[in-house]
Amino acid sequence: MTTDKTSTAVINPEAAKGADTAVDPRLLVREQGFGGYLTEFKRKMRGGDLGSIPVIIGLVIICVVFQSLNSEFLSAKNISDIAVTMVATGMMAVGIIFVLLLGEIDLSVGSVSGVSGAVVAVLSVTHGMNEWLAVVVAIVSGAVIGAVHGFFFARIGAPAFAVTLAGLLFWLGLMLQLLGDTGTINLDSDGVVGKLTTYYFTDVAAAYGLAAVAVIAFFLSAFLDSRRREAAGVPSRPLTDIVVRTAVLAVFGFAAAYMFNQYRGLPLALVLFLVVLVGTDFLLRRTSYGRKIFALGGSVEASRRAGINVTAIRVSVFAIAGTFAAIGGLFWASKIAAVNQGSGTGDLLMNVIAAAVIGGTSLFGGRGRTWNALLGVMVIVSIQYGLSLEGIKTPVQYMITGGVLLATVVIDSVTRRTQKTAGRA
């Protein structure tokens, strides 16, 4: 009598039937129609795979509550201001997500952003360097700083928490040293950095055109991916599914374009942020480098045995975090048209980490997407603007944002424990 596992599954189908195995939703839709999504959704809920559902529900609640309290919350001006303000924190959150995917943390991003702003200000204003060149130097400086942190962590073996905590203090001191006795350097509001947050594409065709390009690109990408999977004989999404998803994206995309055109037009800052999100998402999900980052976040030892250069990946990830911290610093400098002693300090670090975690990136590594930065920062900035419209003081804003972050961490922890129980972690 055959006793291997395969034969047992065949002889006893009920045992296999009860197993909570992962099923490709594309296969369910293909065989069961949209009812398959309900089956897959229930399976994910049992396994603790909540995805972006909590944050999307949270955003809806935030909009409903604050709009009911103040009709200006969903006005074209307020939405445009939120879109521009969230970019600086969002850029930095993108870099933090790379680090969190490894299961590590970088506490220095706030100070690094301040240093990048100071470098641009000193080089372009004090020393008269070409502003474009000064911007490049600042961004490269951020990458080098991140690589230094990565070196001490990956090569020397020092804990990332301790290394980046030291970096927080060191780079903060360097920023203050660069700014000198005055402590403030004003930037040209019409310069390269100044226009990052003040330039708008006023032609209505710009916003609608971007929405159209995004919708078409999404449809073509999904359609071609489906054809490619069909040709390979693996589960693929049916055309109706792709069309529905595209239609939903079109509704939100063109609605946003309409709102922007009711105020000053499409913000340059938002365009740059979306470009970064698309590019980094492609890097993580479609390249071998991205897969190595996810593998490393899942198991360092398994990654090492698979031939992955663990040291190189770790150093490069911290360099990426430093790069985006520097870019975020430029957007913050643009927002106030200056660099001062408060740059990169305050609640910035908390908001950056909170944006990544609230958006759905796990603190335990191995799970997250750069699009989480967009969702998370929308929640944070929306709360801040909503509370400001109601005249709520800053201390209370801190407490509320901290409560939201705590709730998110608790959900992440419970989700991970549930997934382990379900055998999916």
Single-letter amino acid code for the residue at 188: D
Q: What is the pLDDT of residue 48?
A: 54
DSSP 3-state of 305: helix
The residues near 414 (Cβ < 8 Å, ≥ 6 apart) are 48
Q: What is the 3-state secondary structure (H, E, C) of 244-302?
A: HHHHHHHHHHHHHHHHHHCCCCEEHHHHHHHHHHHHHHHHHHHCHHHHHHHHHHHCHHH
DSSP 3-state of 189: coil
Give the tokens for residue 158.
């020092």
- Distance, in Å, from the CA atom of 367 to the CA atom of 383, rounded to the nearest integer, reads 25
Yes or no: say if 95 and 368 are a contact pair by the CB < 8 Å rule.
no
Q: What is the pLDDT of residue 8?
A: 40
Q: What is the pLDDT of residue 1?
A: 42
Q: What is the pLDDT of residue 14?
A: 44
Give the tokens for residue 101.
């995917």
Instruction: State how far the alpha carbon of 179 is from the alpha carbons of 140, 167, 338, in Å.
Output: 19, 18, 11
Tell me: the pLDDT tens digits for 135-155?
Answer: 999 999 999 999 999 999 999
- Distance, in Å, from the CA atom of 299 to the CA atom of 286, rounded to the nearest integer, reads 20
- Identify the CA nearest to 36 among candidates 45, 48, 24, 46: 24
Q: What is the pLDDT of residue 403?
A: 82
Give the tokens for residue 57.
């529900």
Q: What is the pLDDT of residue 276?
A: 96
Tell me: the pLDDT tens digits for 6-31?
Answer: 444 444 444 444 444 455 555 555 55
Residue 184, beta-bridge partner list: 340
Residue ranges in the chain whose pLDDT is less than 70: 1-52, 412, 415-416, 418-425
